[in-house]
């Protein structure tokens, strides 16, 4: 439970204007896309290494 003085302090520190909210969304979406890019890249590279190290019967197209 926040006291009135804390609420005032929060609203001064982080005023959630529509502009700021849009900016926050953009930052989070960008971070999520970057994380996915990294995750997908690691997964793809790992899979190719695993296929390369397999018995040699399947090595791509």
Partner 1 sequence: MLLFSWLLFAAGSLIFVGAACASWEWIRSPRANRLSPPRASSALLYLFNQGFLAPAIAIALAALGGLLHPDRSQTWQLWQLLCAFVAFEAVSYGIHRLLHRIPWLFRMHRVHHASRELGWLDAFHQHPLEFLLFQLFGNLPAVLLFGRAGAISLWLNVGLRLWTAWLHARAPIPLGPLEYVFTSPRMHHRHHAGGARHGSTETANYGGLLSGCDWLFGTARRT
What secondary structure letter does DSSP report for 9? H
Cβ proximity to partner 1, 12 vs 59, nearer residue: 59
Q: Which of 5, 25, 26, 7 is nearest to 15 (CA)?
A: 7
* Minimum CB distance to partner 1, residue 40 (Å): 3
The C-alpha atoms of residue 45 and residue 51 are separated, in whole angstroms, by 10
- Residues at the site binding partner 1, with contacts judged by CB under 8 A: 29-30, 33-34, 36-37, 39-48, 50-52, 54, 56-61
Cβ proximity to partner 1, 14 vs 49, nearer residue: 49
Cβ proximity to partner 1, 14 vs 29, nearer residue: 29
Q: Phi then psi for 2, rounded to 5 degrees? A: -90, 140
């Amino acid at each position: 439970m926040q006291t009135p003085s804390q609420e005032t302090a929060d609203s001064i520190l982080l005023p959630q204007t529509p502009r700021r909210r849009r900016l926050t969304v953009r930052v989070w979406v960008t971070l999520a896309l970057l994380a996915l890019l990294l995750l997908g890249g690691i997964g793809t590279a790992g899979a190719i290494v695993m296929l390369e190290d397999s018995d040699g019967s399947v090595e791509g197209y």
